[in-house]
Amino acid sequence: MAKSDGAYPVIDLSGDTVEKRERALKAIVDDPYTLTCMAARLQNTDTPADGKKEMRRRKEALKAFSEISPEFWDMNDGRSEN
């Protein structure tokens, strides 16, 4: 039913018999991750629905911003520039 393409499982509902299609559908509803991936496909997102990649990027961003000097945040002078 499902084969990983690196981002989502590939969901094959093209079985040539009703039984094959029913088996594929049953496999989908029995697997919460596949269901989540289907929801993401409906939403047309292009990243995995488990959010791991996003979380890794956010943590990297937090690390980068945490290393900035404290003076960076005193940006009231920025008013004249914005």
Partner 1 sequence: MDEAKIKSICRIAGKKAEDLSEFFADVQRSLVLKSIHTSLNPLFLMDACESCYIDLERHKDFHGLDIADRHKRAAFLFKWLARKRPINLSAYKQGPGAGLAIHVNAYFALMAALGELDINVHKFAPTKISQNIIYAASYRDINAESWALTFCLLEKVFPI
Give residues in contact with partner 1 (CB under 8 A). Answer: 36, 39-40, 42-47, 49, 51, 54-55, 57-76, 78, 81-82
Q: Which amino acid is at 33?
A: Y
Q: Which is nearer to partner 1, 10 or 65 (CB)?
A: 65
Q: Which is nearer to partner 1, 22 or 54 (CB)?
A: 54
Q: Which is nearer to partner 1, 17 or 69 (CB)?
A: 69
Angstrom distance (rounded) from CA 47 to CA 41: 9
13, containing H or E segment: none
Residue 6: CB minimum distance to partner 1, A: 16
Angstrom distance (rounded) from CA 55 to CA 66: 16
Q: Which amino acid is at 5?
A: D
